[in-house]
Amino acid sequence: MIDFSDLEKRQKNSFGQQKQLIKQVMAGRKVLCAHCQQPLTLQTQPEFVVICCPDKCTELMLTAEK
């Protein structure tokens, strides 16, 4: 039997961190990529929003909230 509880906890944490990061970027704050330390940019499209760094090691896509 596989224990998923630890995995779920970690996923929840990283999702919470992503939400926090997205909030900061959308608020216009400068947020650096955890991997390459370059600033994340926000690209707003009609259907979705993308937050990524120049090297694309961080790339978060969100569907637009209506």
Binding site for Zn ion (CB under 5 A): 33, 35-36, 53, 55, 57-58
**Which residue's CB is nearer to Zn ion, number 7 or number 36?**
36
User: Which runs of consecutive H residues, i.e. helices, occur in the chain?
Assistant: 5-26
Question: Could you tell me the smallest distance in angstroms from the CB atom of residue 46 to Zn ion?
Answer: 26
Q: d(Cα 22, Cα 64) in Å, to the nearest integer? A: 13
Q: Which residue has its beta carbon closest to Zn ion?
A: 33
Q: Is 6 helix (H, G, I), strand (E, B) or coil?
A: helix
**Which residue's CB is nearer to Zn ion, number 5 or number 37?**
37
